[in-house]
Amino acid sequence: NHTSMKIIQIPLLRDNYGYLLVCEKTQQAAIVDPSEAVPVLRRIEQAAVTPVAILNTHHHRDHTGGNEGLLASRQLRVYGHKSDQARVFGMTHGVDEGDEIEIGELKSKVFFIPGHTTGHVAYLFEDNLFCGDTLFTAGCGRLFEGTPEQMLGSLKKLLALADDVKVYCGHEYTENNLRFAMSVEPNNAKLAARYEQVKNLRARGQSTVPATMAEEKQTNPFLRWESKEIQASVKAAMPDSRLDPVAVFAAVRKMKDAF
């Protein structure tokens, strides 16, 4: 008996996704990662909902650039990791691992998942995960401010979530991510099938986000450090690499950076 929730995906900038989360009971809404204000405001008006909060996953401009415009004519709670007060415009609520947030009658749990940036968080509403640039569909974010150890720890936290959790990430990168995944694990049949499916969706201009955690576990090379085929690809590209989880993850990340 969950309170019903509506999720509206908003394409922003070149390949970003912002989201409008609506508590259907109260018609209160939160905006996840507004890259820019104008298209978000248009969507809020169309949906006839009352915005009450901004949920920022991390400080990058393509996730916070709309904060100022959204706050110009209304007061909203602004959430981000507590360490990013100086980097997230208008932040009113610094949060951390395990905190709970309410939007109308919807409840969300906060995960602290550093690696892409030092202050990255994810928000889990029931079975819906808003994870910014940490876990991408079929990929993961670049390590701009964190270490492979940190990022692996963050991905392991998300890996512990149930198979039916839906992954709402910050960008439409799935097709390119899968092209890379195929290069390191070409004999993964589930991966090949997903790649075909995603190519078809993109050819028709459709979104490939969200995906399920089950799909990610089966096909995302950054969650598959146990795969013998990925380990062999790492060994072939970097003969000196160790094959423990951190080393495999770090090597795959490096290979993707150069892909």
> Which of the residues are catalytic?
58, 60, 62-63, 116, 133, 171
Closer residue to Zn ion in complex, CB, 60/166: 60
Q: How many angstroms separate the Cα of 186 from the Cα of each of 9, 173, 246?
A: 31, 19, 22
Residues 49-108 touching Zn ion, rule: CB under 5 A, are: 60
* Residue 102: CB minimum distance to Zn ion, A: 26
Smallest gap from residue 62 Cβ to Zn ion (A): 6
Contact 45, 29 (CB under 8 A): no
Which of the listed partners (Fe ion, Zn ion, none) does 36 bind, with a CB threshold of 5 to 8 Å by partner kind?
Answer: none
Q: Footprint of Fe ion on this chain (CB under 5 A)?
A: 62, 133, 170
- Map the footprint of Zn ion across residues 122-181, applying CB under 5 A: 133
Cα end-to-end distance, the chain, whole Å: 45
- Considering CB distances under 5 to 8 angstroms, the limit depending on partner class, which of Zn ion, Fe ion, none binds residue 215? none
> What is the closest distance, in whole angstroms, from the C-beta atom of residue 58 to Zn ion in the complex?
6
Considering only CA atoms, which of 56, 51, 41, 129 is closest in space to residue 93? 56
Rounded Cα–Cα distance for residues 75 and 221 (Å): 41
Q: CA-CA distances (angstroms) from residue 134 to 70, 141, 152?
A: 24, 5, 10
In the complex, the smallest distance separating the C-beta of residue 201 from Fe ion, rounded to whole angstroms, is 21
Q: How many CA atoms lie within 13 A of 52 on its CB side?
A: 15
How many residues are present in the chain?
259
**40 versus 182: smaller Cβ distance to Fe ion:** 40
Question: How many positions of this chain bind Zn ion (CB under 5 A)?
Answer: 2
Joined together, the tokens standing for residue 190 give 């589930």
CB-nearer residue toward Fe ion: 57 or 233: 57
Task: Using the minimum distance from each CB to Zn ion, give the nearer residue, 43 or 60.
Answer: 60
Residues that bind Zn ion (CB under 5 A): 60, 133
